[in-house]
Amino acid sequence: MITFKNKQFRCPVEVTVGLISGKWKSLILWHLHDGNIRYKELERIVPGVSQKMLTQQLKEMEEDKLLTRTVFPEVPPRVEYGLTELGHSVFPILEMMHNWAMDNLKIEPTEES
């Protein structure tokens, strides 16, 4: 058994899946790979996510050290999210998943793929 964040896991894969699983986390990580993004922009490029769920997922990923949240002292306040070094290190996994799906599931490419 492996202990991570006071939880027991059977293997490292289970830990990794726990960090990036869910409907929205992998999409958020995918889009943040290209650079920092404001909260409202994340709402736009992750269609279907509620404000509550987006905020929750961002908070969890910040706690897990996958991303940073920067609040700029402006009126109105501007908030940007960006990947940490740990967050960037997840990208090759997401890219392999992307490529596997494109190569094996007969998915038609789009501008966002």
**pLDDT for the residue 81:** 98
Instruction: Compute how many other C-beta atoms are within 10 angstroms of the C-beta atom of residue 87.
Output: 23
**pLDDT for the residue 23:** 85
**pLDDT for the residue 112:** 60
- The pTM assigned to this predicted structure is 0.86
Does the structure show a pLDDT above 70 at 16? yes
Average pLDDT, stretch 74-102? 94
Which tokens go with 91? 């990208």
Handedness of CA 63, 82, 56, 93 (dihedral sign): negative
C-alpha 103/C-alpha 106 separation (Å) is 7
**pLDDT for the residue 95:** 95
Q: Which CATH number fits domain 23-104: 3.40.50.300, 1.20.1440.130, 1.10.10.10, 3.30.1490.190?
A: 1.10.10.10
Does the structure show a pLDDT above 80 at 104? yes
> For residue 11, which amino acid is it?
C
Average pLDDT, stretch 63-77? 93
C-alpha 33/C-alpha 6 separation (Å) is 29
Mean confidence (pLDDT) of the chain: 91
Percent of the chain with pLDDT over 70: 97
| Three-state DSSP class for residue 76 | coil
Q: Are 24 and 49 in contact (CB under 8 A)?
A: yes
